[in-house]
Structure 1
Amino acid sequence: MERNIALIELLADGAFHSGEAIAAHLGITRAAVWKALRKTTDELGLALESVRGRGYRLLTPLELLDAERLLGAMSDHGRHLVSRLELHRQIDSTNAFLMRAAAAGAPAGAVCIAEQQTAGRGRRGRSWQSPFGVNLYLSVLWRYPTGPGVLGGMSLAAGATLAEVLAAHGVQDIALKWPNDILWHRRKLAGLLLEVAGESQGPSHLVVGLGLNLSMRQSQAPDIDQPWVSLNEILDGAPLGRNRLAGALVEALVHALERYGREGLSPFLDPWRAFDPLAGEPVRVIFGDQVIEGRHAGISDEGALQLETSTGLRRFQAGEVSLRPIERPETPAL
């Protein structure tokens, strides 16, 4: 993997590099360059171009993650809240890494971010497609003196926080789908995975994981079974620095985690509701083997999904519940 990363670091600028330069950079023979290039780009799912007399280049330049640039995009207070930053080129899962680190005593504010996950996870046991260098995969650890039972609302707090960051970076029409999917025109842009452990009466620790699609191509995510979108498509190819955005997201998350410990869910309710397009709309809730239809009545002050049904108001906690809109039939043209 080290040789692969060294090669990608050289080619990340998207410019042509001669076979001689690549051989010298990797410390291999000129004859071995093509094999190394094909092996690396195939393994990482990257598109390579070869032009006689000019050399080789990646069709899509990459902005690789850089700890100094990421931290440099944060305020002094934000950097103060980050106790340590773990940057990995490849990892099984940023959440799994921090859950292991938490069990070993890692402090609040530990952050893990990776170029690629080999075992990325989403909600309800689903896998999270995590190709190299084209998205953001990051997790943040926080510790609380209370038990895990009071941390359920952090799912909504994190979603509202991330939606605000994206809106501030020019992403219009961001929407939240309870409990924490981040959508654009009903296509999934990002998802959150929260994992908590601790004593029933405290203390406890929480890991918030984020996967955000930046410039992923369809060919890099053949197994995704729902509509999705990348930030690059939303912004029509306008550049948005990967390290700068990662720094903004990490800063917002550590602030939110710290604030939640002091104030709970309350300060995040109005921002969450502002990004909820399904409020007042007909929806169905899938709860185990049950499918319950009704009108989405927003979220309660405790963060529960509220559903107006023919039998009255019902409330649902996140758990294994899934929310789906009911499409309205189109009105025939007159």
Structure 2
Amino acid sequence: MTVRSLLSILSDGKFHSGQELGEHLGISRSAIWKHMRRLEEDGLEIYSVKGRGYRIPGGLDLLNTGQLDQLLAPALRQQLGQVDLQLNTASTNAAAMSDCLRGNCHGNLYLAEQQSAGRGRRGRTWVSPFGRNLYFSLVWRFDQGIGALEGLSLVVGLALVQALERMGLSGAQLKWPNDLLVNGRKLAGILLEINGETSGACQVVIGVGINVAMPYVQGEQIDQPWTDLATEMRGEGLLRNQVLASCLNELIPLLVQFSERGFVEFAEHWQNYNAHQGQPIILKVGEEEVAGVCQGVDASGALLLETGQGVQTYHGGEISIQRSL
């Protein structure tokens, strides 16, 4: 708790002396110094000036479960289970999956200020600087079996884009099956992991990463064009607790609707955001490449690709899309 309390003080972006911090937290100046070194090792930028103390340039917008509770729609608070907030974790998805293996975690929410081993699809690393973006995993139980989950990642994407539009984002599109783009640059990604039976009840870990205010240095580690909300919305309304609450306020009702009716009722709406609708694309399916024109998705969420052999259907898995030159 000491580190979180320390960060709460430094979150104002102002200088605080080691003596002041130590007195407030009841620890020595030497202990304060050690905490600062560990935070710097975690990638947090800290200014240290002799005679003035320590400050975090620009301050910090820390996640806060109390604020989140106030920002959630009242009817939805009851649908959330436990909220687990960590300063640093390997992966919120990994933490959620570990708990799912031990029992029912329906509605549990896992949050982290930083991930040391965040993951995207196909084994990619998700760059996760401290306190700048959103990394969260929500566990949801479905009783119809794994086969009924087709199209779920598309529904999650639709919830995210609607939530961010409500906050003022414009021009967002969805890349099948799990990315949110703005002007062709990746803003957010989704990773679903499933624990359960093929034909029985299962728990799905819905992992979401959203670039809120990606520092340029960490952004250089990303191996594809990217953007963040700070760039697209010019920093307006970007308190991370509000972004998270907005996403959950959209996501939870859509999960309930999907559980009851499947993807079919979302298909037409999803097409309105399809980043590749009517465009020539190349699908990479394992080692194979298939060229064609994207014709959207069918009622189950499968991708429709018009090729020389007619319209082919592709379901999720190890498939990636590239725009044809």
* Equivalent residue in structure 2 for 1:88, among 75, 81, 86: 86
Displacement of 1:55: 3.1
In structure 1, list runs of 5 or more residues that go unmatched. Answer: 328-334
Is residue 120–residue 191 contact of structure 2 (8 Å, CA) maintained in 1? Answer: yes
Query: Relative to 1, partners in 2 of residues 1:258 and 1:45: Cα closer, same or farther, differing over 3 Å?
Result: same
Is residue 89–residue 114 contact of structure 1 (8 Å, CA) maintained in 2? Answer: yes
Is residue 304–residue 316 contact of structure 1 (8 Å, CA) maintained in 2? Answer: yes
* Match status 1:23 vs 2:22: yes
Q: Residue by residue, what CA displacement relative to the aligned partner does 1:196-231 show, whole Å, maximum 9, x if unpaired?
A: 122222011111110011111121244311111111
Aligned to 2:146: 148
Displacement of 1:56: 2.3
* Equivalent residue in structure 1 for 2:183, among 162, 182, 185: 185
* Match status 1:261 vs 2:259: yes
* Equivalent residue in structure 2 for 1:287, among 285, 308, 311: 285
Q: Tell me, what secondary structure is at the counterpart of 1:291?
A: strand
* Match status 1:116 vs 2:126: no
Is residue 11–residue 61 contact of structure 2 (8 Å, CA) maintained in 1? Answer: yes
Aligned to 2:4: 5
Q: Residue by residue, what CA displacement relative to the aligned partner does 1:85-129 show, whole Å, maximum 9, x if unpaired?
A: 111212221111111222222342111111111221111122211
Structure 1 letter corresponding to 2:45: A
* Match status 1:311 vs 2:305: no
Q: Tell me, what secondary structure is at the counterpart of 1:116?
A: strand
Displacement of 1:52: 5.1
Describe how 1:76-225 pairs up with structure 2 within 5 A: 76-225=74-223
Is residue 140–residue 250 contact of structure 1 (8 Å, CA) maintained in 2? Answer: no
Is residue 140–residue 254 contact of structure 1 (8 Å, CA) maintained in 2? Answer: no
Query: Relative to 1, partners in 2 of residues 1:269 and 1:256: Cα closer, same or farther, differing over 3 Å?
Result: same
Structure 2 letter corresponding to 1:144: F
Deviates more, 1:169-178 or 1:266-275: 266-275
Displacement of 1:277: 2.9
Report the TM-score when normalising by structure 2: 0.94
Counterparts of 2:132 and 2:174 in 1: how far apart (Å)?
Answer: 23
* Match status 1:228 vs 2:226: yes
Calculate the aligned-residue CA RMSD, in Å.
Answer: 1.8
- Detail structure 1 runs of 4+ shifted over 6 Å in the superposition: none
Counterparts of 1:313 and 1:208 in 2: how far apart (Å)?
Answer: 30
Q: How many residues align?
A: 325
Counterparts of 1:28 and 1:152 in 2: how far apart (Å)?
Answer: 53
In structure 2, list runs of 5 or more residues that go unmatched. Answer: none
Displacement of 1:273: 1.0
Aligned to 1:332: none
Q: Tell me, what secondary structure is at the counterpart of 1:271?
A: helix
